[in-house]
Amino acid sequence: MMNRRHFGRLGLGTLALLSVEGWGEQGQSRGNSGAASSAAKNIDRAWVKKAMLPDLLDHWLTASVMPNGFIQENLDREWKPFGTQREASLNGQGRQLYCMVAGYEHSKDRRYLDAVTKCADFLIKMRDPQYGGYFNRTTPDLKVIDDTKTGYTSFTIFPLAHAARVTGKKEYADAALQSWHEVSTKMRDGQFFYNSMKRDFSGTAPMTIGNPSGAVRPAGQGPAPGAMMRRHGLNVHMFEALLALYETTKSKEVWSEIQTEMAAFEKMYDYSRGYLPEGYDDHWKAPDPKTYNVGHLFEWGSLFSRAVELGADKKFIELGSRSVDLGLKMGFHKPTGGTWMIANADGSGPARDYMIWWTQCETIKATARYATLHGRSDLWSIHHQALDFVKKNFLDHEYGGWFEGVIPGKPREALGDRAYLKGAVDGPELGSYHQTTMFTDLLHLSA
């Protein structure tokens, strides 16, 4: 485990204090009564808690958490397992662990606390005992399916840091710090990080990015169709993980990394278009974009804002605000209130006639954050329209939970086999992470 000095002065007692309230609410004041009043008028906390806990996470708690801490993601509309695929991925196991953390934090139900410890312990067992780092996928009994070391390692750092914060268990914080040190020393791609490397970190390896075929893949077949190599790039979720790690540990080393990365972000920012490019060529030059990942435009905006809350330079608010504006310009569909997943950069509209759940969540979260904290009251109308769209199109009012997507103007059945799923390991991994980060941020903003 990590040497204890890396944890600074943050002892078990401090961690216990941090677990008392929701993230960002423990003693942090926004210092703006007008902002608090604005959020109180526009965010229905009672609805948020109901939508997050009994209508969503309670289902995941009872249907997905197995006795050994493995999280079963392949779930049908009625929350029953489907298909034959049974895998734990860093993406799914880590994200859903965070959801159990949020469930406990906002309910104080000890069933969630039990799930947090079981799921965190399982995740830690996915670590490679020989070379370090974490295996990308294992079976429920921890046999290795995919031994590559991927950027999804961020979903060990992020949830374990949060688990440490709410449980007071130092071993989770140690594991998060250890994972971060392995990434920072073994997966460096210049200033940032490789998306995927061989098991022994000796070189890059293909990374499975989703599953374009949409097929459910039996365990043991290795990387799914769509495995590909990416060149240099930024990982929005690794930055998110660093913020969570700093929030829990207050590590000067982690904060130094955050500041160093943000200084690089400032230089890499595309000021003419108003966003932070994520993909780069061999010389770390960003090509002119053909499309935008609209959800990531909102995510970078939210993370810049959160970094400023934690102490980063306020100049990043303007950069984040511009990213949010670009996301709205390119991806927000005013006639419906939905947001496209991928938009053509030439302004010609969506690259796919598909609206996925997580992009809607990031739209709702970012607009509320900038409206509440940064004087963008103009965003409240968009926030409400986007939330109404979700309530009408994504919430399963019969069985609870969320549907994956919608094609405007077409019936749900147009999505084929994926029309009614509640969870799936591949193509993309459908869980409750984006909904939960949205809900927890709305509770934080309106506290």
pLDDT in tens, 350-400: 999 899 999 999 999 999 999 999 999 999 999 999 999 999 999 999 999
Report the pLDDT averaged over residues 133-160.
96
Q: Are 146 and 135 in contact (CB under 8 A)?
A: yes
CB 305, CB 369: distance < 8 Å: yes
Better-predicted residue by pLDDT, 283 or 33: 283
The CATH classification number of 65-242 equals 1.50.10.10
Per-residue pLDDT at 20: 31
Number of H helices, E strands in the chain: 15, 15
User: Contact 427/390 with Cβ under 8 angstroms?
Assistant: no
In this structure, the number of other CB atoms found within 10 A of the CB of residue 423 comes to 25
Q: What is the C-alpha radius of gyration for the chain, rounded to an integer number of angstroms?
A: 20
Q: What beta strand segments (E) does 77-135 contain?
A: 88-89
pLDDT of residue 426: 66
Band of residue 207 on the pLDDT scale cut at 50, 70, 90: low
| 8 Å CB contact between 275 and 323 | yes
Domain locations along the chain: 32-45+269-417+427-447, 65-242
pLDDT at 147: 97
Tell me the backbone φ, ψ of residue 427, rounded to 5 degrees. 75, 55
Please name the amino acid found at residue 156: T
- pLDDT band with cut points at 50, 70 and 90 for residue 230: low
List, for residues 162-185, the tens digit of each pLDDT value. Answer: 999 999 999 999 999 999 999 999
Whether 228 has a pLDDT exceeding 70, the answer reads: no
pLDDT for residue 34: 74
Q: How far apart are CA 345 and CA 270, in angstroms?
A: 13
What is the pTM for the complete model shown? 0.89
Is residue 415 over pLDDT 70? yes
The 10 Å CB-count burial string (b at 16+, else e) for 87-124 is bbbbbbbbbbbbbbbbbbbbbeeeebbebbbbbbbbbb
Which amino acid is located at 231 in the chain? R
- Whole-angstrom distance, CA of residue 260 vs CA of residue 154: 18
Higher pLDDT, 29 or 385: 385
pLDDT band at residue 222 using 50, 70 and 90 as cut-offs:
very low
Average pLDDT on 23-38 reads 55
- CATH class of this structure's domain 32-45+269-417+427-447: mainly alpha
- Specify whether the CB–CB gap between 205 and 196 falls below 8 A: yes
pLDDT band at 37, cuts 50/70/90? confident
- Provide the pLDDT for residue 340: 97
Intrachain domains 32-45+269-417+427-447 and 65-242 with the same fold: yes
Q: Would you state the pLDDT for residue 5?
A: 36
Q: Considering only 43-57, 105-119, 212-226, 243-257, which range has the smallest mean pLDDT?
A: 212-226
Assess whether the previous peptide bond of 428 is cis (omega < 30° from 0).
Answer: yes
Higher-confidence residue of 191 and 57: namely: 57
Average pLDDT, the chain: 88
